[in-house]
Amino acid sequence: MNEIILDARNLVTEIHQRRGWLRVVDDVSFNVGRGEIVGLVGESGCGKSMTAFSLMQLFPTPAARVASGQIIFENRDLLKLAPNELRRVRGAQIAMIFQDPATFLDPLMTLGDQIAEPLRAHNFAGDVRARTRDLVEQMGLPDPDLIARRYPHQVSGGQKQRALIASAMSCAPKLLIADEPTTALDVTVQAQILDLMRDLRAQTGAAILLITHDLGVIAEMCDRVYVMYAGKIVEANTTRELFRAPRHPYTQGLLRSTVSLESATTELFAIPGTVPNLNELPRGCRFAPRCPIANAQCAHEPPFVADETRAVACWNVERAMASEIWKLDVGR
């Protein structure tokens, strides 16, 4: 594998609630190689977005903090940087795009000004206007000069997301964090945005950390995948291997629950039960209450994760791999 540019180790992120600090990201470790597209997949509320925000140390909720861990980026621990040093990393070396492009654009500012903002903030040496024009063109938007003068309410959702991507790519970051970048978009536009991101990776060599709940997006885009469940990473593998031979019962269940043309005639599959409340987590494996092959050990001891690139947090991997465990539930 090539050089690692982002290495998150034992990351713990907490949000403040009435009863105290609640761990929403619990001892999460993962890494991203240079120019690699890495996926972080899981159900909503599993902590994948909070993991992304932790990297930037910016949170949508005011009372959130990275409690411990390390975020090694370009040989520096981002958690140890002074606020001003961190500001120089944001937008310049690590950029981020978000789920809903409509709310992440300032309604009172033209798209051109918003695209150029990181350039001005990080003292871009060249011609800001020309660079902005190039970016808009690179995003595949028609009539760059006109688009740059438009306000967010005058363009479509897809164009908004392209403008956000243009802004994120303006300073040629080494890592782009994309938090559900296609979830709020139409299906046809989704494919275009994914294509655009792949092209950008090819052209600029930027690595992408792609956060999504959509396994289809993962399959199409990612080199490697981390699967998250209830604040923890439960499985990590290359995309090919993960889809070919999922090892964790949760991953297997996720794959079973995707809708495909072949399965259209049969009943839709869903993992029984619900994601545990983070306030009342099981003592052992967090997936044990929903797992068809859980035993006494699962209920009492949290499973151990061996290494970060090909790991699975399960006590019964052999059993899970041996038979199609989720078949037991079909037709129940």
Partner 1 sequence: MCACRGDACVVPTSITMTLYILKRVAQAIPLLLGVVVFNFVLIQLAPGDPVTLLVGDYPAPEEYVRQVRAEYGLDRPLAEQLVLYLGQLARGNLGYSYANRMAVAELIGKRIGPTLQLMITALVIAIIVGVSLGVIAARGRGKISDWIAQAGALVGYSVPDFWLGQILIILFAVTLAWLPSQGMRSARSVATGFDAFLETLPYLVLPATALSVRFIALFSRITRSAMLDILHADFVLGARAKGLSEARVLIAHVLRNASLPIVTVIGYNVGLLIAGSALIETVFAWPGVGRLMFDSITKRDYPVMTGILLMVSGAVVLANLLTDLAYAALDPRVRYTR
32 CA to centre of own chain: 12
The Cα 306–Cα 235 span in angstroms is 10
Residue 140 falls in which region: left (phi positive, over 0), alpha (psi -120 to 50) or beta: left
The Cα 328–Cα 229 span in angstroms is 22
**Footprint of partner 1 on 68-107 (CB under 8 A):** 87-92, 95-96, 98, 100, 103-107
Query: Near partner 1 by CB under 8 A, which window of 26-34, 115-123, 216-224, 246-254?
Result: 115-123
Q: Which residue's CB is nearer to partner 1, number 154 or number 263?
A: 154
Binding residue for partner 1 (CB under 8 A) from 63, 109, 268, 328? 109
Min dist. Cβ of residue 225 to partner 1 (A) = 24
Min dist. Cβ of residue 178 to partner 1 (A) = 12
Q: Which residue's CB is nearer to partner 1, number 25 or number 298?
A: 25
- Is residue 164 a contact point for partner 1 (CB under 8 A)? yes
Binding residue for partner 1 (CB under 8 A) from 35, 118, 144, 231? 118
Of 60, 57, 62, give the one whose Cα is nearest residue 16: 62
- Is residue 126 a contact point for partner 1 (CB under 8 A)? no
Classified as helix, coil or strand, 161 is helix
Min dist. Cβ of residue 145 to partner 1 (A) = 9
Spell out, one character per residue from 9 to 48, where the chain touches partner 1: x when CB under 8 A holds, - when not.
----------------------------------------
Instruction: Report DSSP letters for 6-58, one per residue.
Output: EEEEEEEEEEEETTEEEEEEEEEEEEEETT-EEEEE--TTSSHHHHHHHHHT-
Burial of 19 by CB count in 10 Å (0-12 exposed, 13-18 middle, 19+ buried)?
Answer: exposed
Amino acid at 84: N
Query: Near partner 1 by CB under 8 A, which window of 117-125, 188-196, 273-281, 287-295?
Result: 117-125
Classified as helix, coil or strand, 76 is strand
Q: Which residue's CB is nearer to partner 1, number 26 or number 179?
A: 179
Long-range contacts of 256-263 (CB under 8 A, 24+ apart): 256/326, 258/215, 258/216
- Is residue 131 a contact point for partner 1 (CB under 8 A)? no
- Is residue 116 a contact point for partner 1 (CB under 8 A)? yes
Binding residue for partner 1 (CB under 8 A) from 2, 125, 126, 153? 153
- Is residue 137 a contact point for partner 1 (CB under 8 A)? no
Q: Which residue has the tokens 């001003």?
A: 84
- Is residue 129 a contact point for partner 1 (CB under 8 A)? yes
Q: Which residues of 181-193 are buried (b: 16+ CB within 10 A; e: fewer)?
A: bbbbbeeebbebb
How many residues of this chain interact with partner 1, rule: CB under 8 A?
Answer: 38
Min dist. Cβ of residue 173 to partner 1 (A) = 10
Classified as helix, coil or strand, 175 is strand
- Is residue 124 a contact point for partner 1 (CB under 8 A)? no
Tokens of 27: 């001892």
Residues in contact with partner 1 by CB under 8 A are 56, 58, 60, 62, 87-92, 95-96, 98, 100, 103-110, 112-113, 116-118, 121-122, 128-129, 148-149, 151, 153-154, 164, 167
